[in-house]
Copies of this chain bind each other. A is one copy, B any other.
Amino acid sequence: MTCVRPDNPASSDAARPIAVFDSGLGGLTVVRRILDRMPGEDVVYLGDSARVPYGIKSPETVREFALQDAAFLMQFDPKLLVVACNTASAVAIEALRENIPVPVVGVVEPAARQAATLAGDGDIGVIGTEGTIDSGAHAAALSRLGVQGEILAAAAPLLVPIVEEGRAQDDPIVLSVLTDYLHELQRKRAAVLILGCTHYPLLMRAIAKLMGPETVLLDPGAATAEAVADVLGELGLNSNRPSGTLRCHSTDNPQRFARVARRFLGRDVGDVIRVGTDELVAVRHKGVTS
């Protein structure tokens, strides 16, 4: 169960895929940006829909799940691993870097870098899951970058289920929940608001309306795709093919995954392969192999 590319065993390092995981479907918003930026790359994706969400769970559990997800993806011999989940990026990035023998790019650090550039001396807001906000990962990354403005973080636990439920952005419930979470950020007129969860870009229009034109909304997907391009460029690992493939795996309900994926990815996702969480546990216990 090591490298799964028997059809092309002589492939160069640059032809190896980019591996991406998330707690569910939301990470496809990051895949979308990667494919827009680097259409020649192959992407292999794992969504852990059977154990979603990660954002309400303890750092220890999220780290263990993230290591299992990564161990599964390492079987595809990727050249780089993207942690598309904000919660896993916030609490598991170090554990992943210690255990995974390829570069690991999360969504928190690229978002923080872009926010620092955009905000100047202004304040920076972050909304995310409980796990992401409690970790303080964005604040720590912004502080390492020497950001001077105030950092305003707010957990927004109902937004993921609201997006999953498929409510319209002008639904009164959506607007009242957003108002509840954002009123402090509105009042303080944050210069930048980091949408610190892959589901939130799907509420971009409603959030923009509430925050007004003074606040730049930052979807970490684009910054993350840029960070991936930078790392591949430095390592000379950019694919030179005209187009790549996307191969999706889900730990639950591949049909539902395929159906809902279009909202996140902006295109059809093709066939989705089901992988049981017991298989993830088994691969992890065998050890991470590349």
Contact = CB atoms under 8 A, between A and B. Distances in A.
Interface in A50-77: 50-52, 56-58, 60-61, 64-65
Interface stretch (A98-106, A171-179, A241-249): A171-179
Nearest to A285: B278
Given A50-B57, A50-B61, A252-B58, A162 B172 contact: no
Nearest to A156: B165
Number of copies: 2
A143 interface: no
A276 interface: yes
A145 interface: no
Contacts of A64: 276, 278
A214 interface: no
Contacts of A58: 252-253, 256
A56 B164 contact: yes
A180 interface: yes
Contact of A165 (B52, B158, B251): B158
Nearest to A54: B50
Interface string A141-182: 000000000000000011011101100000011001100100
A57 B180 CA distance: 28
A276 to B, nearest CB: 7
A154 to B, nearest CB: 13
Contacts of A251: 61
A49 interface: yes
Interface in A16-64: 49-52, 56-58, 60-61, 64
Nearest to A282: B281
A285 to B, nearest CB: 7
A290 interface: no
A180 B176 contact: no
A250 B221 CA distance: 34
A61 B49 CA distance: 10
B253 A61 contact: yes
